[in-house]
């Protein structure tokens, strides 16, 4: 293991942090204040660059690295050399690792921040390891694989005072602000019902564990890919990307898209933990998420807001076309939100009916606009204000999203009992169906901890 690990570090690409920073500083003529002048290893002034390590650097990870390439990308860590190849090529001077634990050990002094863009089941262990070392964390959505992990990571980040951001970049958009501004302006009156949906999945669902065996492809460290998840033989049905459908690794469409799609709703309607949740689906097995599902949350009244029902749909299901939407306007085959207020409806951030939209115009602009999702985080890392989807915001959001998966996995049993799941958010516990609590936290494989 260790030998393979060391072999994974490409010597040729290695460069000491000092020489790297020196080169970077030389290239950046506007570098004014040296880090060491400020003292304290995490204080990076706006004028200086962050030293960032990427954990999981193919696919989405590559996109995240590009989005922060104004900073120094000093370390790249990936368990799959094939998947990482393009990113390795783009950042030839970054040091390369396979195991993020080893990387953090070795690079502790050389990095300020990490980007976690691994499959979902690795988010928490990687983020936590970084937080424990005082590193700022940008983590892809959903924040973690289980509610317990989310809670722990959120608390740890708060205590460590590191800058965090979840990868739901839509939160930085104009649309997200408009949704909130319309609500604040009372454009549709009190909202009691919201529908939120995605037309995913785009990888197989509702299937069983494969029985055929495959040899692990060269370049992939399967054991590391599994991380804290239970051991199972390698199979190409898990990666890349299609791990999303497998309960041991991914979090279904809800986990994939829910943190994106529900974020504006959470923000605008000041949602916290739901009081209860129920779910139905096209069939769940213990291996994969369903092909299609509907998850329905009940939120109690919040100050200034009445109780609300939030319905999530995926797999092609969605609410019926609102009567107020004129023919010709698209509804469906995409991800969207429909807010139903006492005085009107809002599709995304478009007021319905059309006449109402025209009459109303735009709501008062009361919210600051974002400099960009990744930039928010970079600024926060350099002492600026917390990013829009910092873990104090995105932690509770992710918990709610993941609670939906618990409802899906226990849905049929609950249904037979004539119950919804009753949830105690602060206590992190389903109160009326104890066996659902088994899904709040997942067991780690030997050698892995949070």
Interacting residues toward another protein by CB under 8 A: 206, 278, 280-285, 290-292, 294, 296, 309, 311, 313, 315-318, 320-321, 327-333, 412, 415-420
Minimum distance, C-beta of residue 43 to another protein, in the bound complex (Å): 51
Minimum distance, C-beta of residue 332 to another protein, in the bound complex (Å): 4
> Which of residues 91 and 313 has its CB atom nearest to another protein in the complex?
313
> Which of residues 185 and 334 has its CB atom nearest to another protein in the complex?
334
> Which of residues 41 and 309 has its CB atom nearest to another protein in the complex?
309
Minimum distance, C-beta of residue 21 to another protein, in the bound complex (Å): 51
Q: Residue 122 to residues 103, 106, 149, 156, 220: CA-CA distances in angstroms?
A: 15, 19, 10, 16, 16
Minimum distance, C-beta of residue 429 to another protein, in the bound complex (Å): 18
Minimum distance, C-beta of residue 316 to another protein, in the bound complex (Å): 5
Minimum distance, C-beta of residue 427 to another protein, in the bound complex (Å): 20
Give the integer Cα–Cα distance in Å for 100 and 123.
11
User: For the range 419-427, what are the long-range contacts, defined as Cβ-Cβ under 8 Å and sequence gap of 24 or more?
Assistant: 420/276, 420/277, 420/278, 420/298, 421/276, 421/277, 421/278, 422/275, 422/276, 423/273, 423/274, 423/275, 423/276, 423/277, 424/273, 425/272, 425/273, 425/274, 425/396, 425/399, 426/273
Q: What are phi and psi of 439, to 5 degrees?
A: -90, -5
Peptide bond into 363 cis (omega under 30): no
> Which of residues 39 and 320 has its CB atom nearest to another protein in the complex?
320
| CB-CB contact of 51 with 132 (8 Å) | no
> Which of residues 155 and 324 has its CB atom nearest to another protein in the complex?
324
> Which of residues 97 and 313 has its CB atom nearest to another protein in the complex?
313
> Which of residues 241 and 331 has its CB atom nearest to another protein in the complex?
331
Give the integer Cα–Cα distance in Å for 66 and 128.
23
Minimum distance, C-beta of residue 295 to another protein, in the bound complex (Å): 10
288: three-class secondary structure by DSSP: strand
Residue 162: other Cβ atoms inside 10 A: 25
Q: Which stretches does DSSP call E strand in 153-230?
A: 164-166, 191-197
Give the integer Cα–Cα distance in Å for 107 and 234.
30
């Amino acid at each position: 293991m260790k030998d393979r690990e060391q072999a994974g570090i490409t010597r040729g690409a290695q460069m000491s942090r000092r020489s790297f920073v020196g080169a970077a500083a030389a290239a950046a003529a506007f570098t004014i204040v040296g880090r060491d002048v400020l003292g304290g290893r995490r204080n990076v002034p706006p004028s200086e660059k962050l030293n960032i390590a990427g954990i999981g650097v193919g696919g989405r990870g590559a996109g995240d690295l590009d989005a922060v390439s104004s900073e120094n990308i000093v370390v790249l860590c990936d368990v799959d050399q094939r998947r990482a190849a393009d990113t390795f090529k783009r950042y030839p001077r970054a040091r390369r690792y396979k195991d993020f634990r080893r990387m953090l050990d070795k690079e502790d002094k050389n990095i300020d921040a990490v980007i976690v863009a691994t499959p979902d089941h690795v988010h928490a262990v990687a983020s936590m390891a970084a937080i424990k070392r005082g590193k700022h964390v940008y983590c892809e959505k959903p924040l973690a694989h289980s509610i317990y992990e989310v809670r722990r990571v959120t608390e740890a980040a708060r205590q460590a005072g590191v800058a965090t951001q979840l990868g739901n970049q839509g939160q930085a958009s104009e649309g997200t602000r408009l949704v909130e501004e319309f609500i604040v302006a009372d454009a549709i009156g009190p909202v009691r019902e919201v529908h939120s949906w995605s037309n995913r999945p785009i990888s197989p669902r509702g299937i069983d564990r494969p029985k055929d065996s495959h040899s692990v492809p060269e370049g992939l460290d399967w054991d590391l890919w599994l991380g804290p998840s239970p051991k199972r033989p390698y199979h190409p049905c898990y990666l890349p990307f299609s791990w999303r459908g497998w309960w041991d690794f991914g979090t279904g469409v809800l986990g994939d898209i829910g943190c994106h799609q529900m974020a504006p709703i959470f923000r605008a309607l000041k949602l916290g933990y739901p009081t209860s949740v129920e779910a139905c689906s096209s069939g769940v097995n213990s291996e994969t998420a369903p092909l299609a599902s509907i998850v329905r949350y009940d939120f109690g009244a919040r100050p200034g807001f009445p109780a609300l029902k939030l319905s999530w749909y995926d797999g092609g299901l969605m609410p019926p076309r609102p009567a107020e939407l004129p023919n010709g306007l698209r509804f469906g085959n995409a991800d969207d939100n429909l807010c139903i207020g006492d005085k009107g409806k809002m599709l995304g951030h478009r007021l319905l009916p059309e006449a109402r939209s025209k009459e109303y115009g735009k709501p008062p602009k009361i919210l600051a606009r974002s400099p960009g999702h990744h930039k928010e985080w970079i600024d926060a890392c350099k002492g600026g204000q917390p990013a829009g989807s910092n873990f104090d915001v995105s932690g509770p959001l992710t918990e709610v999203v993941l609670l939906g998966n618990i409802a899906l996995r226990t849905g049929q049993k609950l249904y037979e009992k004539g119950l919804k799941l009753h949830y105690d958010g602060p206590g992190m516990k389903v109160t009326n169906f104890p066996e659902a609590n088994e899904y709040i936290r997942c067991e780690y494989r030997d050698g892995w901890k949070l």
